[in-house]
Amino acid sequence: MNISQAAAVVGIPPKTIRYYEEIGLISSQRAENGYRVYEDRELHMLTFLGRARSLGFTIESCRSLLALYADPNRASANVKDVAESHVAEIDLKIAELKGMRSTLSKLIKSCRGDDMPDCPILNELSRPFNKQG
Amino acid sequence: MNISQAAAVVGIPPKTIRYYEEIGLISSQRAENGYRVYEDRELHMLTFLGRARSLGFTIESCRSLLALYADPNRASANVKDVAESHVAEIDLKIAELKGMRSTLSKLIKSCRGDDMPDCPILNELSRPFNKQG
DNA sequence: CTTTACCTTCTAGTAACTGGAAGGACTATC
DNA sequence: GATAGTCCTTCCAGTTACTAGAAGGTAAAG
Protein backbone atom coordinates (compact mmCIF):
# COMPACT_ATOMS: atom_id res chain seq x y z
CA MET A 1 0.00 0.00 0.00
CA ASN A 2 1.34 3.42 -1.00
CA ILE A 3 1.30 6.46 1.19
CA SER A 4 -1.85 8.08 -0.17
CA GLN A 5 -3.81 4.84 0.18
CA ALA A 6 -2.60 4.49 3.74
CA ALA A 7 -3.49 8.11 4.31
CA ALA A 8 -7.03 7.46 3.12
CA VAL A 9 -7.37 4.39 5.34
CA VAL A 10 -6.17 6.02 8.56
CA GLY A 11 -7.38 9.55 7.88
CA ILE A 12 -4.02 11.27 8.14
CA PRO A 13 -2.59 13.36 5.27
CA PRO A 14 0.45 11.93 3.44
CA LYS A 15 2.47 14.98 4.43
CA THR A 16 1.74 14.31 8.07
CA ILE A 17 2.66 10.64 7.75
CA ARG A 18 6.03 11.62 6.26
CA TYR A 19 6.45 14.08 9.07
CA TYR A 20 5.78 11.38 11.67
CA GLU A 21 8.43 9.26 10.03
CA GLU A 22 10.89 12.17 9.93
CA ILE A 23 10.58 12.69 13.68
CA GLY A 24 10.91 8.99 14.35
CA LEU A 25 7.38 8.22 15.53
CA ILE A 26 6.92 5.53 12.90
CA SER A 27 9.04 3.82 10.31
CA SER A 28 8.28 2.41 6.90
CA GLN A 29 9.50 -0.16 4.46
CA ARG A 30 10.47 1.00 1.00
CA ALA A 31 9.61 -0.58 -2.32
CA GLU A 32 12.27 -0.99 -5.03
CA ASN A 33 11.27 2.33 -6.56
CA GLY A 34 11.81 4.12 -3.26
CA TYR A 35 8.11 4.49 -2.47
CA ARG A 36 7.02 4.00 1.11
CA VAL A 37 5.05 0.81 1.71
CA TYR A 38 2.45 0.45 4.45
CA GLU A 39 1.11 -2.81 5.78
CA ASP A 40 -0.86 -3.91 8.82
CA ARG A 41 1.71 -3.03 11.43
CA GLU A 42 2.24 0.51 10.11
CA LEU A 43 -1.48 1.04 9.58
CA HIS A 44 -2.13 0.05 13.19
CA MET A 45 0.44 2.49 14.45
CA LEU A 46 -0.86 5.28 12.24
CA THR A 47 -4.39 4.61 13.39
CA PHE A 48 -3.18 4.70 16.95
CA LEU A 49 -1.41 7.98 16.31
CA GLY A 50 -4.41 9.57 14.65
CA ARG A 51 -6.69 8.64 17.54
CA ALA A 52 -4.23 9.78 20.19
CA ARG A 53 -3.63 13.09 18.41
CA SER A 54 -7.36 13.66 18.02
CA LEU A 55 -7.65 13.22 21.78
CA GLY A 56 -5.12 16.01 22.15
CA PHE A 57 -2.09 13.99 23.21
CA THR A 58 1.11 15.79 22.28
CA ILE A 59 3.54 14.17 19.90
CA GLU A 60 5.81 13.36 22.83
CA SER A 61 2.95 11.73 24.72
CA CYS A 62 2.16 9.77 21.58
CA ARG A 63 5.76 8.62 21.53
CA SER A 64 5.38 7.31 25.08
CA LEU A 65 2.06 5.70 24.31
CA LEU A 66 3.42 4.00 21.20
CA ALA A 67 6.32 2.65 23.22
CA LEU A 68 3.88 1.22 25.75
CA TYR A 69 1.74 -0.12 22.93
CA ALA A 70 4.75 -1.93 21.51
CA ASP A 71 5.89 -3.30 24.86
CA PRO A 72 4.26 -6.64 25.72
CA ASN A 73 5.56 -6.30 29.29
CA ARG A 74 4.02 -2.89 29.93
CA ALA A 75 1.91 -2.18 33.00
CA SER A 76 -1.48 -0.71 32.22
CA ALA A 77 -0.87 1.64 35.16
CA ASN A 78 1.71 3.45 33.06
CA VAL A 79 -0.74 4.01 30.26
CA LYS A 80 -3.35 5.18 32.70
CA ASP A 81 -0.86 7.64 34.18
CA VAL A 82 -0.21 9.23 30.81
CA ALA A 83 -3.93 9.48 30.13
CA GLU A 84 -4.70 10.92 33.53
CA SER A 85 -2.11 13.62 33.35
CA HIS A 86 -3.44 14.51 29.94
CA VAL A 87 -6.92 14.88 31.39
CA ALA A 88 -5.45 17.15 34.03
CA GLU A 89 -3.93 19.32 31.30
CA ILE A 90 -7.23 19.41 29.47
CA ASP A 91 -8.97 20.51 32.66
CA LEU A 92 -6.48 23.32 33.07
CA LYS A 93 -7.08 24.52 29.53
CA ILE A 94 -10.82 24.35 29.94
CA ALA A 95 -10.62 26.36 33.15
CA GLU A 96 -8.43 28.95 31.48
CA LEU A 97 -10.80 29.28 28.53
CA LYS A 98 -13.81 29.53 30.81
CA GLY A 99 -12.13 32.32 32.72
CA MET A 100 -11.46 34.21 29.51
CA ARG A 101 -14.98 33.63 28.34
CA SER A 102 -16.47 34.89 31.55
CA THR A 103 -14.44 38.10 31.55
CA LEU A 104 -15.12 38.72 27.90
CA SER A 105 -18.84 38.11 28.25
CA LYS A 106 -19.12 40.70 30.95
CA LEU A 107 -17.25 43.21 28.83
CA ILE A 108 -19.42 42.47 25.84
CA LYS A 109 -22.60 42.91 27.85
CA SER A 110 -21.43 46.28 29.06
CA CYS A 111 -20.80 47.53 25.52
CA ARG A 112 -23.72 49.03 23.66
CA GLY A 113 -22.24 48.10 20.30
CA ASP A 114 -23.53 51.10 18.42
CA ASP A 115 -21.89 53.64 16.11
CA MET A 116 -20.53 55.74 18.96
CA PRO A 117 -16.87 55.53 19.97
CA ASP A 118 -17.45 55.03 23.70
CA CYS A 119 -16.54 51.44 24.48
CA PRO A 120 -16.23 49.80 27.89
CA ILE A 121 -14.28 46.94 26.32
CA LEU A 122 -11.48 49.24 25.17
CA ASN A 123 -11.65 51.18 28.43
CA GLU A 124 -11.15 48.06 30.47
CA LEU A 125 -8.33 46.74 28.31
CA SER A 126 -6.37 49.98 28.60
CA ARG A 127 -7.10 50.69 32.26
CA PRO A 128 -3.85 51.47 34.11
CA PHE A 129 -2.61 48.75 36.39
CA ASN A 130 -2.81 50.84 39.54
CA LYS A 131 -6.56 51.18 39.10
CA GLN A 132 -7.02 47.47 38.62
CA GLY A 133 -8.98 45.25 40.95
CA MET B 1 11.69 54.56 31.38
CA ASN B 2 13.84 51.71 30.02
CA ILE B 3 12.50 48.48 28.67
CA SER B 4 12.92 46.37 31.79
CA GLN B 5 11.19 48.95 33.95
CA ALA B 6 8.32 49.12 31.47
CA ALA B 7 8.27 45.34 31.44
CA ALA B 8 7.87 45.29 35.22
CA VAL B 9 5.07 47.87 35.10
CA VAL B 10 2.98 46.15 32.44
CA GLY B 11 3.90 42.58 33.25
CA ILE B 12 5.28 41.66 29.83
CA PRO B 13 8.86 40.36 29.38
CA PRO B 14 11.33 42.67 27.63
CA LYS B 15 11.81 40.09 24.90
CA THR B 16 8.11 40.09 24.18
CA ILE B 17 7.98 43.88 24.09
CA ARG B 18 10.78 43.91 21.52
CA TYR B 19 8.92 41.26 19.59
CA TYR B 20 5.75 43.36 19.57
CA GLU B 21 7.76 46.23 18.21
CA GLU B 22 9.40 44.03 15.59
CA ILE B 23 6.03 42.94 14.21
CA GLY B 24 4.74 46.51 14.25
CA LEU B 25 2.21 46.25 17.06
CA ILE B 26 3.80 49.08 18.97
CA SER B 27 6.57 51.59 18.41
CA SER B 28 9.06 53.22 20.73
CA GLN B 29 11.17 56.32 21.05
CA ARG B 30 14.90 55.90 21.40
CA ALA B 31 17.24 57.67 23.77
CA GLU B 32 20.58 59.05 22.56
CA ASN B 33 22.32 55.84 23.54
CA GLY B 34 19.91 53.78 21.43
CA TYR B 35 17.92 52.46 24.37
CA ARG B 36 14.16 52.20 23.95
CA VAL B 37 12.20 54.72 26.00
CA TYR B 38 8.69 54.07 27.28
CA GLU B 39 6.27 56.74 28.47
CA ASP B 40 2.54 56.91 29.16
CA ARG B 41 1.35 56.31 25.63
CA GLU B 42 3.50 53.20 25.14
CA LEU B 43 2.69 51.90 28.61
CA HIS B 44 -1.01 52.21 27.86
CA MET B 45 -0.67 50.30 24.64
CA LEU B 46 1.43 47.60 26.27
CA THR B 47 -1.07 47.27 29.08
CA PHE B 48 -3.81 46.98 26.49
CA LEU B 49 -1.84 44.33 24.65
CA GLY B 50 -1.13 42.33 27.77
CA ARG B 51 -4.79 42.30 28.77
CA ALA B 52 -6.01 41.41 25.30
CA ARG B 53 -3.47 38.61 24.98
CA SER B 54 -4.37 37.25 28.39
CA LEU B 55 -7.97 37.08 27.18
CA GLY B 56 -6.75 34.94 24.31
CA PHE B 57 -7.02 37.45 21.48
CA THR B 58 -4.60 36.58 18.69
CA ILE B 59 -1.90 39.04 17.74
CA GLU B 60 -3.87 39.95 14.63
CA SER B 61 -6.99 40.60 16.69
CA CYS B 62 -4.87 42.72 18.99
CA ARG B 63 -3.75 44.67 15.96
CA SER B 64 -7.38 45.35 15.06
CA LEU B 65 -8.27 46.24 18.62
CA LEU B 66 -5.32 48.61 18.94
CA ALA B 67 -6.36 50.31 15.70
CA LEU B 68 -9.88 50.77 17.09
CA TYR B 69 -8.42 51.96 20.39
CA ALA B 70 -6.42 54.59 18.55
CA ASP B 71 -9.31 55.72 16.36
CA PRO B 72 -11.44 58.45 17.99
CA ASN B 73 -14.10 57.92 15.30
CA ARG B 74 -14.49 54.18 15.90
CA ALA B 75 -17.89 52.57 16.42
CA SER B 76 -18.14 50.49 19.56
CA ALA B 77 -20.04 47.94 17.44
CA ASN B 78 -16.80 47.09 15.68
CA VAL B 79 -15.05 46.38 18.96
CA LYS B 80 -17.98 44.31 20.12
CA ASP B 81 -17.85 42.29 16.89
CA VAL B 82 -14.22 41.38 17.44
CA ALA B 83 -14.94 40.38 21.02
CA GLU B 84 -17.98 38.34 20.09
CA SER B 85 -16.25 36.34 17.41
CA HIS B 86 -13.47 35.65 19.87
CA VAL B 87 -16.00 34.30 22.36
CA ALA B 88 -17.34 32.07 19.60
CA GLU B 89 -13.83 30.71 19.02
CA ILE B 90 -13.39 30.13 22.73
CA ASP B 91 -16.66 28.22 22.82
CA LEU B 92 -15.48 26.00 19.99
CA LYS B 93 -12.27 25.23 21.80
CA ILE B 94 -14.06 24.48 25.05
CA ALA B 95 -16.43 22.13 23.25
CA GLU B 96 -13.52 20.35 21.59
CA LEU B 97 -11.69 19.95 24.88
CA LYS B 98 -14.80 18.70 26.62
CA GLY B 99 -15.25 16.10 23.92
CA MET B 100 -11.70 14.90 24.37
CA ARG B 101 -12.09 14.87 28.10
CA SER B 102 -15.25 12.83 27.95
CA THR B 103 -13.76 10.18 25.67
CA LEU B 104 -10.60 9.99 27.70
CA SER B 105 -12.41 9.72 30.99
CA LYS B 106 -14.37 6.74 29.75
CA LEU B 107 -11.18 5.04 28.61
CA ILE B 108 -9.48 5.75 31.92
CA LYS B 109 -12.36 4.33 33.89
CA SER B 110 -12.24 1.12 31.87
CA CYS B 111 -8.52 0.61 32.58
CA ARG B 112 -7.59 -1.17 35.76
CA GLY B 113 -4.23 0.57 35.93
CA ASP B 114 -2.32 -2.30 37.46
CA ASP B 115 0.95 -4.03 36.58
CA MET B 116 -0.63 -6.20 33.90
CA PRO B 117 -0.22 -5.36 30.21
CA ASP B 118 -3.89 -5.60 29.28
CA CYS B 119 -5.08 -2.06 28.64
CA PRO B 120 -8.42 -0.95 27.17
CA ILE B 121 -6.94 2.48 26.46
CA LEU B 122 -4.34 1.06 24.10
CA ASN B 123 -6.87 -1.35 22.66
CA GLU B 124 -9.23 1.44 21.80
CA LEU B 125 -6.56 3.67 20.32
CA SER B 126 -5.35 0.94 17.99
CA ARG B 127 -8.74 -0.50 17.07
CA PRO B 128 -9.00 -0.84 13.28
CA PHE B 129 -11.24 1.70 11.58
CA ASN B 130 -13.66 -0.88 10.22
CA LYS B 131 -14.58 -1.91 13.73
CA GLN B 132 -15.14 1.64 14.88
CA GLY B 133 -18.46 3.06 15.96
C1' DC C 1 4.50 9.02 -26.46
C1' DT C 2 2.30 12.12 -23.81
C1' DT C 3 -0.48 13.49 -20.11
C1' DT C 4 -1.77 12.96 -15.52
C1' DA C 5 -1.18 11.54 -11.08
C1' DC C 6 1.55 9.89 -7.83
C1' DC C 7 5.98 9.51 -5.43
C1' DT C 8 10.52 11.41 -3.59
C1' DT C 9 13.40 15.11 -1.00
C1' DC C 10 14.25 19.71 0.50
C1' DT C 11 13.15 24.35 1.99
C1' DA C 12 10.38 27.55 4.13
C1' DG C 13 6.32 29.28 6.52
C1' DT C 14 2.76 29.24 10.28
C1' DA C 15 1.81 31.61 15.96
C1' DA C 16 3.81 33.81 19.48
C1' DC C 17 7.20 33.94 21.63
C1' DT C 18 11.86 32.40 24.17
C1' DG C 19 16.84 31.54 24.76
C1' DG C 20 21.33 32.64 23.82
C1' DA C 21 25.39 34.82 21.69
C1' DA C 22 28.16 38.94 20.66
C1' DG C 23 29.01 43.37 21.68
C1' DG C 24 28.01 48.30 23.40
C1' DA C 25 26.54 51.25 27.61
C1' DC C 26 25.78 52.47 32.33
C1' DT C 27 26.65 52.05 37.46
C1' DA C 28 29.29 50.94 41.44
C1' DT C 29 33.45 49.96 43.58
C1' DC C 30 38.42 49.91 44.40
C1' DG D 1 41.26 54.94 35.71
C1' DA D 2 40.43 50.02 35.77
C1' DT D 3 37.17 46.53 36.64
C1' DA D 4 32.97 44.00 37.56
C1' DG D 5 28.25 43.51 36.99
C1' DT D 6 24.07 44.67 35.01
C1' DC D 7 21.57 46.61 31.55
C1' DC D 8 20.87 47.53 26.63
C1' DT D 9 21.29 46.47 21.54
C1' DT D 10 20.81 43.17 17.34
C1' DC D 11 20.62 38.80 15.23
C1' DC D 12 20.04 33.82 14.95
C1' DA D 13 17.98 29.62 16.33
C1' DG D 14 14.50 26.75 18.59
C1' DT D 15 9.80 25.67 20.13
C1' DT D 16 4.76 22.57 18.30
C1' DA D 17 2.81 20.10 14.77
C1' DC D 18 2.27 20.41 10.86
C1' DT D 19 1.44 22.53 5.79
C1' DA D 20 2.67 24.54 1.20
C1' DG D 21 5.40 24.47 -2.56
C1' DA D 22 9.31 23.50 -5.67
C1' DA D 23 12.14 20.31 -8.39
C1' DG D 24 12.40 16.09 -10.16
C1' DG D 25 11.66 10.78 -10.60
C1' DT D 26 7.96 7.00 -11.47
C1' DA D 27 3.75 4.83 -12.82
C1' DA D 28 -0.67 4.18 -14.95
C1' DA D 29 -3.94 5.49 -18.75
C1' DG D 30 -5.02 6.47 -23.40
Q: What's A67-92 look like in SS3?
A: HHHHCCCCCHHHHHHHHHHHHHHHHH
Please classify residue A6 by burial: count the beta carbons closer than 10 Å to its beta carbon, then call 0-12 exposed, 13-18 middle and 19+ buried. buried
- CA B122 / C1′ D13 distance in Å: 37
Q: What one-letter code names the amino acid at A34?
A: G
In DSSP terms, B36 is beta-bridged to: B30
pLDDT of the residue at A133:
42
User: Hey, are the CB atoms on B79 and A9 less than 8 Å from each other?
Assistant: no
For residue B37, report the phi and psi dihedrals to the nearest 5 degrees: -120, 130
Which of helix, strand or coil describes residue B89? helix
pLDDT band at A130 (very low <50, low <70, confident <90, very high): low
Please give, rounded to a whole number of angstroms, the shortest distance from the CA of A71 to a CA of chain B: 8
Over the stretch B92-128, which tens digit does the pLDDT of each residue have?
Answer: 999 999 999 999 999 999 999 999 999 999 999 998 8
Spatial distance from the CA of B40 to the C1' of C11 (Å) = 44
Fold of A1-74: Multidrug-efflux Transporter Regulator; Chain: A; Domain 2 (1.10.1660)
Every domain of chain B and the residues it spans: 1-71, 75-128
Tens-of-pLDDT digits for all 133 residues of chain B?
999 999 999 999 999 999 999 999 999 999 999 999 999 999 999 999 999 999 999 999 999 999 999 999 999 999 999 999 999 999 999 999 999 999 999 999 999 999 999 999 999 999 887 644 4
B117 burial level (CB within 10 Å; 0-12, 13-18, 19+)? middle
Please provide the average confidence, as pLDDT, over all residues in chain B. Answer: 94
| Average pLDDT score over residue span A91-98 | 97
- Tell me the CATH number for domain B1-71: 1.10.1660.10
Whether residue B115 and residue A75 make contact (CB cut-off 8 A), yes or no, is yes
Distances (CA, A) of B122 to A20, A123, B133: 19, 51, 16
Burial of A40 (0-12, 13-18, 19+ CB in 10 A): exposed
Among the partner residues B47, B48, B115, nearest to A77 by beta-carbon distance: B115
pLDDT in tens, A4-31: 999 999 999 999 999 999 999 999 999 9
DSSP H helices in B1-133? 3-10, 14-22, 40-54, 59-70, 76-110, 120-126
